[in-house]
Structure 1
Amino acid sequence: MTDRGTTERVLALLGLLQRRRVCTGPELAERLGVTARTVRRDVDRLRALGYPVHASQGVGGGYQLGAGQDLPPLVLDDEEAIATAVALLAGAGGAVAGAGDAALRALTKLDRVLPARLRHEVRALAGSVESFGDGGRPLVDPAVLMTLARACRDQVEAAFGYPSSGTVNERRVEPYRLVASDRRWYLLAYDLDRTDWRTFRVDRMSGVAARTARFRPREAPDAATYVQESVASRVYRHQARFVVHAPAATVREQIPASAALVRERDADSCEVLSGAASLDFVLLHMALLGHDFEAVNPPELRERCQVLAARLRAAGSALA
């Protein structure tokens, strides 16, 4: 059985091998304060753990950490763990475009093994990380993201204040997934007081806290699709559906994911589900895409098409 002193020495050996391309046996023995024979034994222990440590003889020879086909266990010292966590916090908060979701997943994994003594340092350092060029994205406290991510992972209820009709109400939920869009973070959760699935904007939450009550996971909708439909249409007064005669990939490049849901019909057409406070607004937006399209529903969309067409023709005639 390996004692704590041996474990710490093996980790120190790994750190030395990671920092230098080649290390001789005598150099390692001197740095670690052990004999060359002990260094050889510790190298064998690293190999048993999956680290490819190569040995070469002669002038310029020594021990070298190689690249293996399998990823061995990741070992970080305190400074490396703090730096990694802060970088992930920055990414989860939106500082790295397109990396938020992956950063949060990695951060929750790191959170499982991060010693308690390091967490206050991570929070302090995270407060000094800022970003720019976020395109107007609302700021989200990474600590709030971590609280919600842990609640999703551990299957415990969460509570927070959320604005509705001018007042802030307490919401009790079973959190299921955090979903990142191109502009915001959302939580898909089962609302215990409304007995239904709901989407919540994380930047609108206040007083976020994980509760002690655990829950059994329910059969849930696909998180990304549900949140996208909620954001793109269900939150608006009007929901509109169109058939657009252009490839889905082309239309997705023209419309932000938070503005509409684009479903492929065939190679040359797609269905677009969008919402707006005004049907005229969403119609004009579709016309500006530059593709032929049909207004499917609601029925009043066709009437608004006729009204807008007449108005545009009149405007063109006046200029003539």
Structure 2
Amino acid sequence: MASTGSRTLQLLSLLQTHRYWPGTELADRLGVSPRTLRRDVDRLRDLGYPVDATRGVAGGYQLAAGASLPPLVVDDDEAVALAVGLRTAAQSGIAGVEEASVRALAKVVQVMPPRLKRRVDALRVATLATALRGGPVVDASTLTTVAQTCRDEERLEFTYVARGGEETRRTVEPHRLVSVGRRWYLVAYDLSRFDWRSFRLDRLSEPRATGARFRPRTLPAEDAAEYVRASLSPASEQLVVDALVHADPARVEEAIGRWATVTPVDAETARVRLVVESPEWALFGLAAAGAPFSIEAPDAVRELAAVWAERFRAASAGVA
């Protein structure tokens, strides 16, 4: 049997991963008797962790919300994920979390052992952070409420504004949160439509957990991200832009191949197709190629490029 101290930390870690643990299952995981488990729970309470207990044959334990946030126990992989996630959140479109994420990241990195700091630094160097601004902003409390219902398999109610402006009240069985492009989506089974749906979080308000649990259904896709991507048809959500970039195709692929389809035309020209949310983002993408380009379609992007060109000419000439 593990020492009392290490066993208490293991118990805390288990309580933090699930909303509710049946007592017999928790005791089996720790390799202790129900009586020892009760003593360990009491020890956590003495340390300030609010642990609720349910008596009876089906009784169990769950970590409750307290007056203050007690210390959390995370393993190595979770600590690295936490640091990377906070770094990403500091550049995100979630209202009110950028500054708090920077403060939290400083605290996490300060207490990390050197081996974990090296892993975080390696991920930072090997990944590209694209902190593009101007997209829809999601309220942090909305994101948190929805995420908790996904984790706890609890039905969720919210007000939703459809693309056409229609406002409805929805009750769903939340499945996963997905970040695609610069937007957050909730993938859920809509109980009023009797089908799966993806909901943009910036159009979702007044989320409320109902307390009703549900048995997860089988998603009709390989994963939630694939389901969201399939639901975003070019006609309804995105704009297809075709252009010629006058540069070595290999150079163009290296510069913008992460978000565009690049097809060589000859040694000095590449055909580029971007699927974007607006004409502005198409021009940002083409400009990132760092070479002259000509827009083939659509007209809206060509017209916006002409407007921007005039603005840049005026700015370079010092004209207000």
TM-score range, shorter chain: 0.3 to 0.5
TM-score by structure 2 length?
A: 0.43
TM-score by structure 1 length?
A: 0.43
Question: Whose Rg is larger?
Answer: 1
